[in-house]
Amino acid sequence: MTPRKIIIDTDPGQDDAVAILLALASPQDLEVVAITTVAGNVPLALTTRNALMMCELAGRTDIPVHAGAIRPMVRDLVTAEYVHGGSGIAGAGLPEPTMTIRSGHAVDAIIEIVMSAADGEITVCPLGPLTNVGLALVREPRIAERLHEIVLMGGGFFEGGNRTPAAEFNIYVDPHAADVVFRSGIPITMMPLDVTHQALTSPERLARFAAIDTPAGRAVHGMLDFFERFDIERYGMQGAPLHDPCVIAYLLEPELFGGKTVPVRIETASELTMGMTVVDWWGATDDAPNATVMREIDADRFFRLLAERIALL
């Protein structure tokens, strides 16, 4: 089967980094046409550096990496060093990248790739704030009818938020960009906290990565060992939720997930609920369904898939 062509839009972040490695470990299933970076977990210079480091770690210096938005569309940038460490990928233990970014802003790269590909050929996988994708839709609205799908990590409903009581970080950072994306009419598959909070690391699951005696295995173990501290303390969880790898795992094995296609709207007015994904799960409105919202995951099979693929790098 022909590998599915994807653009990964990302703000590495340890979980983004693992998602990138999972995608690059699966060339028989996924062709990563480009990686575009955005400010989010840490500022743009660091998310871009971190994306380059993951491409080098995976031996894929051929992957075009384009730097994108340095701040959200309207609001000030909010970052998350308290979760990810100052570098954004604390625990990776890797050297500075020698690979460099490609010329051209990420927004222009997304437009160029989508407009020059065949209809429905490209899937965009946002793993961070939606600023680049939102700006691309404003700059070239025609990408909306040419994209195959957007598969994103973001939002929450019964699970609430992780940046505020109401909002998940990616959507909270740039709610206006998220509003543009969710109103675009593009088929959206959404991985909210309701599903990613079921994909928890554990000592046993972490041990699997420690047992992978490769640079990639060691980097993933180091990153996840650092990354889980915040969530264990904040939520009293057994481990860290592997948010962004859920997006890539869905592309590889969609049967691992379950959800429902429902209306989703984004709060962009109230400070109290800014960035909330208002998911009409029970059909309380007549709004048109615009996203397939995932709520179930087979976490054991998810972690088996992840460990199997990382071991291939």
Binder among 7, 8, 9, 16 for Ca ion (CB under 5 A) = 16
Using DSSP, how many helices (H) and how many strands (E) does the chain show? 13, 10
**Nearest-angstrom CA–CA distance, 134 and 245:** 22
The 8-class DSSP code of residue 92 comes to -
Q: How far is the CB of 262 from ligand RIB (least distance, A)?
A: 20
Q: Which residues contact 103 (CB under 8 A, 6 or more apart)?
A: none
Nearer to ligand RIB, 168 or 179 (CB): 168
Among 116, 183, 125, smallest CA distance to 146 is for 116
Binder among 149, 228, 244, 267 for ligand RIB (CB under 6 A) = 244
Residues 257 and 196 sit within 8 Å (Cβ to Cβ): no
The CA-based angle 159-161-166, given to 5 degrees, is 105
In this chain, which stretch among 7-15, 63-71, 102-110, 253-261 interacts with ligand RIB, using CB under 6 A? 7-15
Q: How far is the CB of 292 from ligand RIB (least distance, A)?
A: 18
127 binds ligand RIB (CB under 6 A): yes
Binder among 7, 13, 184, 250 for ligand RIB (CB under 6 A) = 13
Q: How far is the CB of 16 from ligand RIB (least distance, A)?
A: 5
Ranges within 122-151 binding Ca ion (CB under 5 A): 127-128
For the chain, percent helix, then strand, then coil, each to nearest 5?
Answer: 40, 15, 45
Q: How far is the CB of 28 from ligand RIB (least distance, A)?
A: 25
Nearer to ligand RIB, 128 or 217 (CB): 128
Q: Which residues contact 24 (CB under 8 A, 6 or more apart)?
A: 32, 54, 55, 58, 60, 63, 313
Binder among 15, 56, 179, 225 for ligand RIB (CB under 6 A) = 15
9 binds ligand RIB (CB under 6 A): no
Assess whether 197 carries a catalytic annotation.
no
In this chain, which stretch among 9-17, 52-60, 91-99, 290-298 interacts with ligand RIB, using CB under 6 A? 9-17
Helix (H) or strand (E) holding 111: helix 106-116
46 binds Ca ion (CB under 5 A): no
Nearer to Ca ion, 10 or 262 (CB): 10
246 binds ligand RIB (CB under 6 A): no
Among 19, 22, 7, 25, smallest CA distance to 122 is for 7
Binder among 8, 9, 11, 295 for ligand RIB (CB under 6 A) = 11
* Dihedral sign (CA 266, 149, 257, 3): negative
**Nearest-angstrom CA–CA distance, 50 and 72:** 19
Nearer to ligand RIB, 194 or 244 (CB): 244
**Nearest-angstrom CA–CA distance, 160 and 146:** 33
16 binds ligand RIB (CB under 6 A): yes
Nearer to ligand RIB, 41 or 123 (CB): 41
**Nearest-angstrom CA–CA distance, 37 and 159:** 27
255, with CB counted inside 10 A (0-12, 13-18, 19+), is: exposed
Nearer to Ca ion, 13 or 241 (CB): 13
Q: Which are the catalytic amino acids?
A: 243
Would you tell me which residues interact with Ca ion (CB under 5 A)? 11, 13, 16, 127-128, 244
Contact positions vs ligand RIB (CB under 6 A): 11, 13, 15-16, 40-41, 127-128, 153, 162, 168-170, 243-244
